[in-house]
Amino acid sequence: MKTAIYLSTAALACLLAAPAAAQQDHVDIDWDPQRNKENITPFSARVNSPEVHDDHTVTFRVLAPEAGSVTVSGMMFAGDPDRRRAEMTKDDRGLWSVTLGPLDPNVYLYWFQVDGVQMADPNNTYTGHAAMPAFSMVWVHGDGPAFYDARNVPHGAITQRFYHSDVTGGERYMLVYTPPGYDPAKKYPVLYLMGGSGDLPETWTMHGQANFIMDNLLAEGKAVPMIIVIPNNQMVHRAHPRHTELSFPLIEREYLEEIVPFVESNYSTVPDRHWRAISGLSMGGRHAQYVGLRNLDLFANVGILSAAIAVDETPALRRADFNGQLDYFFLGAGTHETSPTARHEVLHRELEALGVDHEYYVGSRGAHDLIAWRHLLYYRFLPNLWRKLPANQ
C-alpha cells in the first residue's frame, strides 16, 4: 500500500527555502556557528556546549555525574590576572555549567578540567589540535562577519605539500596559500609564516584564520597579492632539554636547504630578497628573527610577533649599514602581554637605542594568543608588506 504525501504550497516553499542555521550544523562556514538558532543539540553531543547568546555571554556545559570538580579555562581570561579559570556548578542530573561574559566578539580557545584532567569540550564539534593535546574553540559573534571570518569574497587556495627533508631525514609538509586568481604566468612575493611552541602549520589556518584574513584584505584593496607558505617549524621535540640550542640552527638549515628551494621550484615567485618575507608568532617569531637576520641575502622583510631575541644574539643589528638591509622590519605584540620587561618591549628599546628603523605596534584585546596575532596580521603586518616597493610585475 502506497502512502500519499501532500504538501501545501506554503509548506513546499519552506522546504525549498534555504535552511535555517542550527547550533554547530557545519553546513556553511558560519561567523556565528555556536549561536543557538533552532535549539538543536550538535550531532552526537549530549548537551549544547558552548551556547553563545546574543548578549555576548557564553554558557559552557558538560554532563559528568560522577565528577567532583569541573572548571573551564581559556583565552577569554586574557587581561584578567586574577582569573584564569571559572568553576562550573552541578545540578541534580549531573550537568555542570557556567555562563561567562559578556565577552568581546572574537574566537577563543578553551578547555575543561574534570577532576584535574584537562580535556576538550566533548560536546563541541569545533576542536583544535597542534603538537599538544586537543582543545576547543568558541566563536563569540558580533553583528556580522569579523575581519577574520569567511566572507562572500574571492578566496585563495590552501594546499598541503609534502616533501622529503635531508635535514630531519624524514617526510615533512607545509601549507601553501595562493591568492584568488593565482596565475603561474605572473610572479608573486612570498611570505614564510611560522607558528609557535607546540604549533603545527594548521594553527595559522584552523585557529588563526590567516587565509580568510588575507582574502578579506585583498577584497578590500589593503594588501598586495602574495603566496603565504606555512612550514612546520617543529624541528626538535618541544620538551627536549636542548630544544633552543638545537632547533634554531636546524630551522635555518631547513629554510636554506629545503623550504625555499621547494617553494621556488613549485610556485611562480619573485626570486629576489626584496620580495621575500619571514615572520612568525612566539617561537616562530624568534625563528624568523634568527633566520631572517642571519640571511639578509635571502630576506629583506622580517616580522616578529610576540617574540624577540636579544640584540647580542643577532649581531647584524649592530652593523652600521643595517638600516639599508631591510625593507620592512615589524615588531608587534598584544596589549595584555606587554610590560617593561617583556622581551619584545626590551628589543624595541634596544633597536631605538641603536637607531634601527622598525615599526613597533602593540594592540588588540589579546595577550600571548591568537586574539593578538590575528589582529597584528590584519591591521599591521600584511597590509604593510611590500608597500614601499615598485610593482613586481
Q: Mind listing the pLDDT tens digit for each residue in 130-164? A: 878 899 999 999 999 999 999 999 999 999 999 99
CA distance 188 to 385: 12
In percent, how much of the chain has pLDDT > 70? 93
CA distance 111 to 122: 10
**CB environment 203-219: b (16+ within 10 A), e (fewer):** bbbbbbbbbbbbbbbbe
Q: How confident is the model at residue 245 (pLDDT cuts 50, 70, 90)?
A: confident
What rounded mean pLDDT belongs to the chain? Answer: 91
| More confident position, 133 or 183 | 183
Is the pTM for the entire model greater than 0.75? Answer: yes
Q: Which of 33-47, 72-86, 240-254, 268-282 has the highest mean pLDDT?
A: 268-282
- What value does the mean pLDDT take over residues 38-42? 87
CA distance 375 to 141: 16
pLDDT given at position 3: 45
Chain center to CA of 252: 22
Phi-psi group of 24: left, alpha or beta (phi > 0 → left; psi -120 to 50 → alpha; rest → beta): left
pLDDT given at position 18: 43
pLDDT given at position 228: 98
Domain coordinates of the chain in residue numbers? 9-140, 157-384
pLDDT tops 80 at residue 221 = yes
- pLDDT tens digits for 322-348? 888 999 999 999 999 999 999 999 999
Q: Which CATH class is domain 9-140?
A: mainly beta
Output the nine-digit C-alpha cell for 363: 594592540
pLDDT tops 60 at residue 5 = no
- What value does the mean pLDDT take over residues 366-377? 96
Output the nine-digit C-alpha cell for 276: 621575500
CATH topology of domain 157-384: Rossmann fold (3.40.50)
Q: Is the dihedral of CA 175, 180, 186, 191 positive or negative?
A: negative
pLDDT tops 80 at residue 210 = yes
pLDDT given at position 326: 94
> Is 67 strand, coil or helix?
coil
Q: How confident is the model at residue 320 (pLDDT cuts 50, 70, 90)?
A: confident
Q: How confident is the model at residue 17 (pLDDT cuts 50, 70, 90)?
A: very low
Q: How confident is the model at residue 14 (pLDDT cuts 50, 70, 90)?
A: very low
| Residues β-bridged to residue 86 | 72
- What value does the mean pLDDT take over residues 3-9? 46
pLDDT given at position 7: 45
Collect all residues with Cβ–Cβ distance below 8 Å to 332 and sequence separation of at least 6. 303, 304, 305, 306, 344, 359, 360, 361, 362, 363, 376, 380, 381
pLDDT given at position 81: 66
The length of the chain is 393
CA distance 52 to 86: 17
Q: How confident is the model at residue 286 (pLDDT cuts 50, 70, 90)?
A: very high
* Type of residue at 283: M
Lowest mean pLDDT among 81-90, 220-229, 367-376: 81-90
- pLDDT tens digits for 99-129? 999 999 999 999 999 999 999 999 999 998 8
